[in-house]
Amino acid sequence: MTLRRSLLGLIGVALFAVALSSFGVAGAAASTTEECKIPAEKEPATSKHFEDENCTKESGAGGLYHTTPVLGTQLVEWTKTSPIVWSTQVAGLAVKFTCEAVGGVQSATNFEEKEKFGFKGEGVIAFTGCAMQEPAGCTVNSKVESNKLTFASEDLAEKQRVLYAPKEGTKVASFTISGCAIAGTYAVEGKLRSQTVDIHTSEIGPKTGSELTISKSTPIQLELWTHTVTAGTKTFVVTELP
């Protein structure tokens, strides 16, 4: 197996709540999810890429390590590595709110289809500790949780993306503004995409291909960087080319 640059997850945030960190793809092959750990005796594992202890570093990993394929369905979740920022416009006013944390759980499964490897799953993403930054005088609900989302790996020429979409309908999530002239509940609709940054990190932002709107046509931008970890042991999850 050849190690490539990473993507989630992120996010997997899965869905918003969890994603898979992954390695970028430079060819036609897709990828599979791998758990970053020392393999048990006789457990299938990739060739070494980093020293085992370096595999768990959030940054600066180097040397050699093993990863082991995720078998069956794995529960994963996102952890944030940067500020979480939502930004849009309502009635001509700039609206921006931030959230302190991201969580939620998604189920991720590797698949092979017509000689193509990839991963897919479903779950929710939950943002907590949210607070309004602009406009002054407005407040926003402290928790923004997605509807159930599906996700699937998408291969690009040099990077890999993960596409998140509502399992039913078009609504991804909603948030409520209170205490000011633009008070109301706003549905976030469309699709969300994360993109690889390095072996542990995924990015969501202006360049990752998300298609989110409020009020049917007004763009809303979500920006954050995430790691993806297993829901139980909080072990890094990465994506490896077969």
How far is it, in rounded angstroms, from Cα 14 to Cα 20? 8
Q: What is the mean pLDDT of residues 134-148?
A: 96
**pLDDT by residue (tens digit) across 184-237?**
999 999 999 998 877 678 899 999 999 999 999 999 999 999 888 778 777 767
Q: Higher confidence at residue 135 or residue 1?
A: 135
**pLDDT by residue (tens digit) across 50-81?**
444 555 555 665 544 444 445 567 777 888 87
- Return the bridge partners of 50, or none: none
Does residue 135 surpass a pLDDT of 60? yes
CB-neighbour burial class of residue 92 (10 A; exposed 0-12, middle 13-18, buried 19+):
exposed
Nearest to 193 by CA among 168, 218, 211, 215: 211
Q: What is the mean pLDDT of residues 133-155?
A: 94
Query: For 216, which DSSP code?
Result: T
Q: Higher confidence at residue 231 or residue 172?
A: 172
**pLDDT by residue (tens digit) across 14-53?**
222 223 333 322 223 344 556 666 566 766 555 444 444 5
Q: How confident is the model at residue 177 (pLDDT cuts 50, 70, 90)?
A: very high
* H/E stretch holding 2: none
Tokens, residue 171: 């609504």
How far is it, in rounded angstroms, from Cα 108 to Cα 188? 24
For residues 8, 172, 109, 153, the Cα torsion angle rounded to the nearest 10 degrees is: -50
Rounded to the nearest integer, the mean pLDDT of the chain is 75
Does residue 147 surpass a pLDDT of 80? yes
Alpha-carbon dihedral sign for residues 125, 171, 209, 214? negative
Helix (H, G, I), strand (E, B) or coil at 82: coil
Does residue 84 surpass a pLDDT of 70? yes
Q: How confident is the model at residue 5 (pLDDT cuts 50, 70, 90)?
A: very low
pLDDT at 9 (0 to 100): 29
Q: What is the mean pLDDT of residues 165-183?
A: 97
CA distances from 184 to 173, 175, 179 (A): 14, 8, 9
Tokens, residue 230: 């297993």
Amino acid at 219: P
Query: For 136, which DSSP code?
Result: T
* H/E stretch holding 96: strand 93-99
pLDDT at 40 (0 to 100): 67
Q: What are the extents of the domains in the chain?
A: 32-240
Helix (H, G, I), strand (E, B) or coil at 200: coil
